[in-house]
Amino acid sequence: MAALPPLILASRSPYRQQLLRQVGLPHQAVPADVDERRHPDEAPHDYVIRLAKAKAERVAADHPDALVIGSDQAAVLGDRVLGKPGTEAVAQEQLAAASGRCVTFLTGLAVVHGATDRREADVVPYRVHFRNLDEETIRRYVAREKPLDCAGSFKSEGLGIVLFQRMEGGDPNALIGLPLIRLFDFLLSFGYPLVSDPGSA
C-alpha cells in the first residue's frame, strides 16, 4: 500500500490543531501568510472559501507532497460579518448585538495536494440561536473566558455554550473552525482511513 501524504494544517489556530489531535490525525501546523481582508461587497460565503483555498494553496506551493488543509470562518449576523473582536469592549458589543438573535457561522474548508494539483473545497454552515443576554451576563462572560480571538466572541467548547438557546447544523466542530465531518469526506477521497493505526498517531 502506498504511503499516504503527510498532513499540514495551514493555520496557527490552537483550536483547529486540537481538533486534529482529538481525532488522531498526525499533522504539522504551518501558518499561511495571506491577506485576510474581505473584498468590498464580497459575500461571506465567497469570502471564507476564497481564504480557505488561498491558505491551503499558499502552503502547498512550498510542500507539494503534503495534503494541506486550509480553513477560514465568518460569523454572520443579518448583513454584518462579525470578526475576531480583539478587545473586551468589541466582544461585549458583538454579544449584545447577537442577543436574542441567530448568528450563522460559515466555515470554508479546502484540501490541496500540490503534487497532483488536486483540490477539494466546501463551505459548511452552522447556526447558533442566542439567549436574551443582559449587559451584566455579557460582561461577566467576556471577563471570565476572554474570547478575543474567536469570531463571534465566544468559545462554544467552553463556557460559551451557556449563551445559546439552541444550535442547528450538521457538524458542531464547524463552530470551532474546522468541520471534521466534511474534512473526513475529503480525506477518505485521498485514501486516508477513518481511524488510523494506533501506532501512527
Query: Which residues are the active-site residues?
Result: 72
**CA 37 centroid distance within chain:** 16
Those residues with Cβ within 8 angstroms of residue 193's Cβ, 6 or more apart along the chain or in another chain: none
- Describe the crossing of helices 135-145 and 88-98 by its angle, rounded to 10 degrees: 130
Cβ burial of 122 (10 Å; 0-12, 13-18, 19+) is middle
- Distance, in Å, from the CA atom of 54 to the CA atom of 83, rounded to the nearest integer, reads 18
Containing 148, the helix (H) or strand (E) segment is none
Q: Is the CB of residue 75 less than 8 Å from the CB of residue 82?
A: yes
Strand partners for 74: 106
- DSSP secondary structure letters along 82-143: E----SHHHHHHHHHHHTTSEEEEEEEEEEEETTTTEEEEEEEEEEEEEPP--HHHHHHHHH
